[in-house]
Amino acid sequence: MKSFSLAVAMPLLLLVACGRAEPVEDLPSQEELAAAANAAAAKAMASAKADTPASRNYVNVERGFSITFPEGWEKDAAASNADGMVYQDPGAGADVRIFWQKKDGEQTLQQIVATVNEGSEGVSGDFVGDNEYRGTANDGEGNNVALRLMKQPDGSIVTASFVYPEMLSEQYQAMAERTLDSLRIFAPRDRTPEGAVPAAGSNAARP
């Protein structure tokens, strides 16, 4: 009886032993596990980038200027073209406009500023050297306007305006200053070797 029990048990013991003797090399190594984890992380990052809105930094290489728009604002495609861009704060009545304008005869920056400010109220501003103007005004329709004009070496003008409801000045005033501060000008593509754009730290307008 005892020998019969052992005879029955032997196949079971062999089966269990076989199950425990599975080759170690069939299991993933630490290196393989790490590679799989890195691949998963890279895939997640790629997916996150695909879901991220376009950069707020607008660079017009052909016209030679750049600016950073406020976060969450939306492009007004109908009002934008090859010379510039318009971004709006959805539902708030505020917008940023930046456009390039070719040189118009012998018109000075002072004359251009006077034209821009026509019809505005409470105009206040200063010239920074010969090639830049910073100012504020009211458009007479309940909106404040912050302006920055920069003259390029060839005489063309880049005008950036930040318009927002006067009643929301506390919310937008600092934002307007930061946005206009981010405006930079540099040599357009056709005036730069191989179309290179100068580094951000060296492309500020010089008086």
- The first and second tokens of residue 64, run together, are 């030679």
Query: Which comes out higher in pLDDT, residue 144 or 13?
Result: 144
Q: What does pTM read for this prediction? A: 0.66
Confidence (pLDDT) at 25: 53
- Lowest mean pLDDT of 91-100, 115-124, 182-191, name the range: 115-124
Distance CA 59, CA 182 (A): 11
Closest CA to 184 of 65, 83, 93, 78: 65
pLDDT in tens, 5-53: 444 444 444 444 444 444 555 666 766 666 666 565 555 444 444 433 4
Candidates 3.30.1300.10, 3.30.9.30, 3.40.50.300, 3.40.1000.10; correct CATH number of 55-191? 3.40.1000.10
Among the residue ranges 30-34, 107-111, 112-116, 196-200, the one predicted with the least confidence is 196-200
Sheet containing 74-75: give its strands across. 74-75, 84-89, 94-101, 157-165, 143-151, 132-138, 121-127
Helix (H, G, I), strand (E, B) or coil at 188: coil
Return the higher-pLDDT residue of 61 and 44.
61
89, 70 Cβ separation under 8 angstroms: yes
According to DSSP, the residues that pair with 107 across neighbouring strands are none
The pairing of strands 57-60 and 74-75 is unpaired
Mean pLDDT computed over 84-106: 91
What's the one-letter identity of residue 199? Answer: A
Q: Which residue has the higher pLDDT, 9 or 116?
A: 116
